[in-house]
Amino acid sequence: MTDFQKITWQSPSNIALIKYWGKHGHQLPCNPSLSMTLDKARTTTSMYYRADSHGLKVKYLFEGKKQEEFEMKILKLMISLQDEMPFLNQYEFRFESSNNFPHSAGIASSASSMSALALCLVSLEEILLKENYSREDFLKRASHIARLGSGSASRSIFGNYALWGHTDDLEQSSDEYAIPFTLPVHEKFAAMGDAVLLVSSQQKSVSSSLGHHLMTVHPFAEARYKQAETNLQALMVCLQVGDFESFACIVENEALTLHSLLMTSSDDGLLLKANTLHIIDEIRRFRSETGLQMCFTLDAGPNVHLLYPLGEREKVMDFITFRLLRFCENEQWIDDQIGTGPVCTECHSMERSS
């Protein structure tokens, strides 16, 4: 038997400002979404691979331990990819993954883990095809593969701001893969902080795949998809002109819309905790008292992302310490910010970073 070869990618999580909630067909979004890529919350995945004539084999270890559920998910994904990546069938794979944010934090890690995996697979594809993709084609392909694993992962392939889903306002946009947000971003939004306030580490009770599925029968679905388009158009203008007030309005509206849809989709969809609401209340009160530029957003869970221009950092740190930490589980929070995207730390073909 030949030795295992290794490819390692480190890929970040992202936080959606315009939310993807609802899909159709083969993992296609019902509306375009736009996100900010994070810097510190990352998954590192090493993919060990060797030729095996007995067909596709997959093992997945997370922080040194076998992860049955995720292993099944990856195996299913790789089986479904065999048509477009026929080489998968001739290899044995072992993935070793770890997160550099606490696993117990209750932060959705599918975006970082699926994007890291997709980048490893496309790196291998490039080696086997003996042809270097252009940087743009490589990232497009990785985003497409990541999307098939988890929609939001398609956006983690790019740094700064990324957009997934077709919108008439950006010609290159596509439902098949995400693209970097290429319009000029105002300096206020070029350096953004994201303080992730950890309200509860409990596993969320509605999986995102069930949540997306429930949207197919939600009575407000069509109105929501239209609203997302309108919010996206307005947010793109805010990002370019530096209008933080309107940005805050849209981003908070998106977060609360996501939770309204969740709550009205299923009995398990009430994911907000009392402390989530206390934090939201404090943020809005402090903002109107001080005029400080900051706003909140939420993932499909109880933790709060506090977004602010890094220029306001000192005041925001004091605000977190004195007014918000008391609502966090064990006073935990993650001091993150906008990031530059994935990095290949062991790439056989060439060193890359996006």
Q: Is 259 in the site for ligand PMV (CB under 6 A)?
A: no
Binder among 151, 269, 302, 309 for ligand PMV (CB under 6 A):
151
Stretch 155-194: interaction string toward ligand PMV, x if CB under 6 A: ----------------------------------------
208 in contact with ligand PMV (CB under 6 A): yes
Give the CA distances from residue 211 to residues 14, 21, 329, in Å, rounded to whole numbers and listed in that order: 19, 8, 25
Query: What is the closest distance, in whole angstroms, from the C-beta atom of residue 265 to ligand PMV in the complex?
Result: 12
113 in Cβ contact with 43 (< 8 Å): yes
For residue 163, the cross-strand partners are 34, 179
Question: Of 253, 345, 325, nearest to 282 (Cα)?
Answer: 325
| Residue 20 lies near ligand PMV (rule: CB under 6 A) | yes
Strands (DSSP E) along 125-182, which ranges? 161-164, 178-180
Q: How far is the CB of 233 from ligand PMV (least distance, A)?
A: 17
Amino acid at 134: S
Q: Which of residues 77-136 bind ligand PMV (CB under 6 A)?
A: 108, 110
Give the binding-site size for ligand PMV (rule: CB under 6 A): 14
208 vs 265, beta carbon nearer ligand PMV = 208
Q: How far is the CB of 270 from ligand PMV (least distance, A)?
A: 15
Q: Give whichever of 213 and 348 is closer to ligand PMV, judged by the CB atom.
A: 213
Closest CB to ligand PMV among residues 147, 352: 147
Select the residue interacting with ligand PMV from 19, 73, 273, 287 (CB under 6 A).
19
Helix (H, G, I), strand (E, B) or coil at 331: helix
CA 16 to chain centre: 7
Output the smallest distance, CB 151 to ligand PMV, in A.
Answer: 4
Torsion angles phi and psi, residue 159, rounded to 5: -80, 175
The Cα–Cα gap between 226 and 302 comes to 26
Residue type for 190, please? A
Is residue 150 part of the contact set for ligand PMV (CB under 6 A)?
yes
> Under the criterion CB under 6 A, does residue 269 sit at the interface with ligand PMV?
no
Question: Distance (Å, rounded) from C-alpha 305 to C-alpha 17?
Answer: 10
Closest to 197 (Cα-Cα) out of 285, 276, 300: 276
| 44 touching ligand PMV, by CB under 6 A | no
33 makes contact with ligand PMV (CB under 6 A): yes
56 in helix, strand or coil? coil
Q: Does 296 bind ligand PMV (CB under 6 A)?
A: no
Q: Do 81 and 155 contact (CB within 8 A), yes or no?
A: no
Is 11 a binding residue for ligand PMV by CB under 6 A? The answer is no
Q: Which residues bind ligand PMV (CB under 6 A)?
A: 16, 19-21, 33, 108, 110, 150-152, 208, 258, 299-300
